[in-house]
Structure 1
Amino acid sequence: MSQNVTSAMPKPEHPRPQLVRRKWMNLNGPWGFEIDAGDSGLERGLTTRELNSRIVVPFAPESALSGIEHVDFMEAVWYRRTVTIPSGWAGQTVLLHFGAVDHDATVWVNGVEVARHRGGFTPFTADLGGVAEPGTDAVIVVRARDSRHEMQARGKQATWYNNTHCQYTRTTGIWQTVWMEAVPEVHIKRLRMTPNLADSSITLEVPVSQNRSGHVVAAVLTDNSGMRIEASATADLDLTPSLRLEIPAGSLRPWSIEDPFLYDLEVSVRNASGTVVDEVSSYAAVRSIALDGKVVRLNGKPVFQRLVLDQGYWPDSLMTSPDEAALIKDIELSMAAGFNGARLHQKVFEERFLYHADRLGYLVWGEFGDWGVSGGGTIGHNQQPTASFVAQWLEVLKRDYNHPSIIGWCPLNETHQVLHDRLTVLDDVTEAMFQATKLADPTRPVIDASGYAHRIRDTDIYDSHSYEQDPDRFRIEQQGLAEGKPYINRKGDGEEYSVPYAGQPYFVSEFGGIWWNEVEARQAVDGSDVASSWGYGQRVRSEEEFYARFDGLCSVLLENPDMFGYCYTQLTDVFQEKNGIFTFDRSNKFDLARIRASQIRPAAIETQE
Structure 2
Amino acid sequence: MPDEAPRATTDDAAQPSHSGDCPRPEYPRPQFVRPDWLNLNGPWQFEIDRGDTGLERRLAERDLGSEITVPFCPESELSGIGDVDFLHAVWYRRTIQVPDSWAGRTVLLHFQAVDYDTTVWADGVEVARHRGGWTPFTADLGQVAGQEITLVVRARDPKDGPLPRGKQSDRYGNYSCLYTRTTGIWQTVWLEPVPQSHLGRPRITPDLAGGAFHLDVPVTGGSRRGLAVKARLSDDTGEITTERIRADLDFGVRLTLRIPESRQRTWSLDDPFLYDIALELVDEDDTIVDAAATYAGLRSVTIDGKAILLNGHPVFQRLVLDQGYYPDGILTAPSDAALVADIELSKAAGFNGARLHQKVFEERFLYHADRLGYLCWGEFGDWGANAGREGDNQQPGATYITQWLEAVERDYSHPSIVGWCPLNETRQWLHDKVTVLDDVTRGMFLATKGADQSRPVLDASGYSHRVRETDVYDSHNYEQDPAKFGKAMAGLAEDQPYTNAGGADRPWSISYAGQPYFCSEFGGIWWNPDAGPDEDSWGYGERPRTLEEFYSRFEGLVAVLLDDPNMFGYCYTQLTDVYQEQNGVYLFDRREKFDLERIRAAQTRTAAIEKDDG
**Aligned with 1:268 (options 261, 272, 280):** 280
Q: Partners of 1:452 and 1:149 in 2: how far apart?
A: 23
Q: Partners of 1:500 and 1:188 in 2: how far apart?
A: 45
Q: 2:555 matched to 1:551?
A: yes
- The residue number in structure 2 matching 1:66 is 79
Partners of 1:115 and 1:126 within 8 A in 2: yes
Unaligned runs of 5+ in 1: 1-5, 524-528
| AA of the residue aligned to 1:426 | L
Tell me by how many angstroms 1:212 deviates.
1.6
Q: Partners of 1:189 and 1:384 in 2: how far apart?
A: 34
Q: CA RMSD in A?
A: 1.5
Partners of 1:20 and 1:282 within 8 A in 2: yes
Tell me by how many angstroms 1:542 deviates.
1.3
Partners of 2:566 and 2:609 within 8 A in 1: no
SS at match of 1:537: coil
Q: 2:417 matched to 1:406?
A: yes
**Aligned with 1:363 (options 375, 381, 384):** 375
Tell me by how many angstroms 1:213 deviates.
1.3
Partners of 1:303 and 1:608 within 8 A in 2: no
- The residue number in structure 2 matching 1:346 is 358
Instruction: Within 5 Å, give how 1:16-415 maps onto structure 2.
Output: 16-129=29-142, 133-209=144-220, 210-371=222-383, 373-374=385-386, 378-379=392-393, 384-415=395-426
Instruction: Give per-residue Cα distances to partners, 1:174-230, cap 9 Å, x unaligned.
Output: 000000000000101111101100010001111011452110100011011124211
Q: Decide which moves more: 353-362 or 536-545.
A: 536-545
Partners of 1:211 and 1:237 within 8 A in 2: no
Aligned residues: 592
Partners of 1:419 and 1:497 within 8 A in 2: no
Tell me by how many angstroms 1:606 deviates.
4.3
Instruction: Give per-residue Cα distances to partners, 1:27-69, cap 9 Å, x unaligned.
Output: 0000000000100101111111000000000000000000000
Partners of 1:211 and 1:238 within 8 A in 2: no
Q: 1:362 to 1:152 in 2, by over 3 A?
A: same
- The residue number in structure 2 matching 1:3 is none
| AA of the residue aligned to 1:71 | V
Partners of 1:153 and 1:372 within 8 A in 2: no
Tell me by how many angstroms 1:371 deviates.
2.7
Q: Could you tell me the percent identity over the aligned residues?
A: 62
Q: Partners of 1:258 and 1:281 in 2: how far apart?
A: 25
Tell me by how many angstroms 1:272 deviates.
2.0
SS at match of 2:199: coil
**Aligned with 2:530 (options 513, 519, 526):** 519
Tell me by how many angstroms 1:603 deviates.
6.1
| AA of the residue aligned to 2:194 | V
Partners of 1:561 and 1:608 within 8 A in 2: no
| AA of the residue aligned to 1:293 | G
Q: 1:419 to 1:197 in 2, by over 3 A?
A: farther
**Aligned with 2:574 (options 559, 570, 574):** 570
Q: Partners of 1:583 and 1:26 in 2: how far apart?
A: 32
SS at match of 2:129: strand
**Aligned with 2:25 (options 8, 12, 26):** 12
- The residue number in structure 1 matching 2:16 is none
Q: Partners of 2:607 and 2:495 in 1: how far apart?
A: 25
TM-score, length basis structure 1: 0.95
**Structure 1 segments of 4 or more deviating over 4 A?**
372-378, 492-495, 603-609
Partners of 1:227 and 1:251 within 8 A in 2: no
Instruction: Give per-residue Cα distances to partners, 1:501-556, cap 9 Å, x unaligned.
Output: 00000000000000001123xx5xxxxx3422000010111111110000000000
Q: 1:336 to 1:196 in 2, by over 3 A?
A: same
Q: 1:377 to 1:91 in 2, by over 3 A?
A: farther
| AA of the residue aligned to 1:531 | E
**Aligned with 1:536 (options 506, 525, 540):** 540
Q: 1:168 to 1:75 in 2, by over 3 A?
A: same
- The residue number in structure 2 matching 1:486 is 497
Tell me by how many angstroms 1:245 deviates.
0.2
Q: Partners of 1:582 and 1:512 in 2: how far apart?
A: 14
| AA of the residue aligned to 2:283 | N
TM-score, length basis structure 2: 0.94
Q: Partners of 1:35 and 1:498 in 2: how far apart?
A: 43
Partners of 1:151 and 1:377 within 8 A in 2: no
Instruction: Within 5 Å, give how 1:393-542 maps onto structure 2.
Output: 393-418=404-429, 420-491=431-502, 495-520=506-531, 523=532, 529-542=533-546
Q: Partners of 2:64 and 2:189 in 1: how far apart?
A: 19
Q: Partners of 2:506 and 2:47 in 1: how far apart?
A: 49
Q: Partners of 1:294 and 1:584 in 2: how far apart?
A: 35
Partners of 1:200 and 1:247 within 8 A in 2: yes
Unaligned runs of 5+ in 2: 1-18
SS at match of 2:60: coil
Partners of 2:384 and 2:426 within 8 A in 1: no
**Aligned with 1:599 (options 595, 599, 603):** 603
SS at match of 1:553: helix
Partners of 2:46 and 2:90 within 8 A in 1: yes
Q: Decide which moves more: 578-587 or 208-217.
A: 208-217
| AA of the residue aligned to 2:34 | R
Q: 1:66 to 1:372 in 2, by over 3 A?
A: farther
Q: 1:558 to 1:372 in 2, by over 3 A?
A: closer
SS at match of 2:552: helix
Q: Decide which moves more: 209-218 or 531-540.
A: 209-218
- The residue number in structure 2 matching 1:581 is 585
Instruction: Give per-residue Cα distances to partners, 1:262-301, cap 9 Å, x unaligned.
Output: 0111100001222101000111111101111100000000
